[in-house]
Amino acid sequence: LRRQARGKRREVALGIGDDCAVLRPRAGEEMVVTTDLSIEGTHFRREWHPAESVGHRCLARGLSDIAAMGAGPVAAFLSLGLPQKLPQRWVNEFLLGFLTLAKRFEVTLAGGDIAESREGVVADVMVVGAVPRGKAILRSGARAGDVIYVSGSLGGPASTLKRMFAGEKVRAKKNERHFFPEPRIAVAQKLRGVATSMIDISDGLSVDLAHICEESKVGAMVNELLLPVARNASLEDALHGGEDYELLFTARENAHVPVEIAGVAVTEIGWIERGGSVRITDLKKTRALKARGWEHFVR
């Protein structure tokens, strides 16, 4: 890991090599921290996911959480539990996936740990980000009358996963979002001062919208006809699929929200209401939108 941790950011005053890393936030900024645990068999399968994809996905999850706060990533910490018989090549390719993504977002690998795992690969990734003081976008800021938006398209990764569950061999192409999800860092930065609340869609639109409603103490109405369902994906995939790593956010009704931010489509999908219920309508019929995420790799 030490050899890999090049390209140090200014905020990382001291990286790998001592007992602790030393982080130094810039004046007027505060740091946000997220941690994600990825477990073989639960979050990925070695027979389905190439090591490079696993490394990418582990870090992308954390970067997506940083984006969801309207923050920018600074440093990552990686702890690995590796089975003794795991080929070194697998580890190298995992690191390639991890570090290629880190480099693209100028994230310094500033620490980590490796230990032997009795069974399966375990990767714990912590990402530290920075945001101007008091400007982090929270889940709790949505108000009745706000408009709900989502970046990109929904359901693509879930439809890929379904195909693999059905026994299809899916090639892990770089543009296949299930294998190489794209954290929406650039989009998120542009939403500071615009979005009233935000979350990244990791568990599925229905679950993550419910989180915003819960934290903001509001309800929501989703317009089914407006949902940006990915090609080859079903409405179910888009509503409950998860692992989209798109941004779900709200803005005041009179706020200017471009239809495209940093090259990514932004779609209005509904509105925030008083009360606590989350519903979906096709403008003829309205029903409850039950929070039902994809149960990762459940047998």
Stretch that binds Mg ion, among 120-128, 143-151, 197-205, 291-299 (CB under 5 A): 197-205
Q: Which of 240, 205, 202 is nearest to 37 (CA)?
A: 202
Stretch that binds Mg ion, among 8-16, 64-72, 131-139, 212-220 (CB under 5 A): 64-72
CB of 246 to Mg ion, least distance (A): 11
**CA pair distance 269, 239, nearest whole angstrom:** 12
Among 11, 146, 200, 237, interactor with Mg ion by CB under 5 A? 200
Compare residues 163 and 192 and give the one whose CB is closer to Mg ion: 192
Compare residues 82 and 201 and give the one whose CB is closer to Mg ion: 201
Stretch that binds Mg ion, among 42-50, 59-67, 86-94, 240-248 (CB under 5 A): 59-67
**CA pair distance 8, 110, nearest whole angstrom:** 8
CB of 199 to Mg ion, least distance (A): 6
Site for Mg ion contains 208 (CB under 5 A): no
**CA pair distance 244, 233, nearest whole angstrom:** 12
Strand intervals (E) in the chain: 12-14, 22-23, 29-39, 72-82, 108-116, 122-132, 147-151, 195-200, 219-223, 247-251, 260-261, 264-273, 278-281, 286-288
How far from 78 is each of 2, 37, 62, 128, 174, CA to CA, in Å? 11, 10, 11, 12, 23
Site for Mg ion contains 224 (CB under 5 A): no
Stretch that binds Mg ion, among 35-43, 44-52, 62-70, 177-185 (CB under 5 A): 62-70
How far from 1 is each of 84, 114, 116, CA to CA, in Å? 18, 9, 15
- Per-residue tokens: 154: 């929904």
**CA pair distance 99, 118, nearest whole angstrom:** 25
Among 65, 146, 224, 246, interactor with Mg ion by CB under 5 A? 65
CB of 263 to Mg ion, least distance (A): 22
Number of residues that bind Mg ion (CB under 5 A): 3
**CA pair distance 4, 108, nearest whole angstrom:** 10
CB of 200 to Mg ion, least distance (A): 4
Site for Mg ion contains 52 (CB under 5 A): no
Stretch that binds Mg ion, among 190-198, 201-209, 228-236, 249-257 (CB under 5 A): 201-209
CB of 47 to Mg ion, least distance (A): 27
Q: Are 97 and 54 in contact (CB under 8 A)?
A: yes
CB of 34 to Mg ion, least distance (A): 7
- Per-residue tokens: 67: 């984006």
The number of CA neighbours under 13 Å toward the Cβ of 198 is 30
CB of 64 to Mg ion, least distance (A): 6
Site for Mg ion contains 203 (CB under 5 A): no
CB of 72 to Mg ion, least distance (A): 16
Q: Which of 98, 105, 188, 202 is nearest to 151 (CA)?
A: 188
Stretch that binds Mg ion, among 51-59, 89-97, 202-210, 279-287 (CB under 5 A): 202-210
Site for Mg ion contains 246 (CB under 5 A): no
Chain residues that interact with Mg ion, rule: CB under 5 A: 65, 200, 202
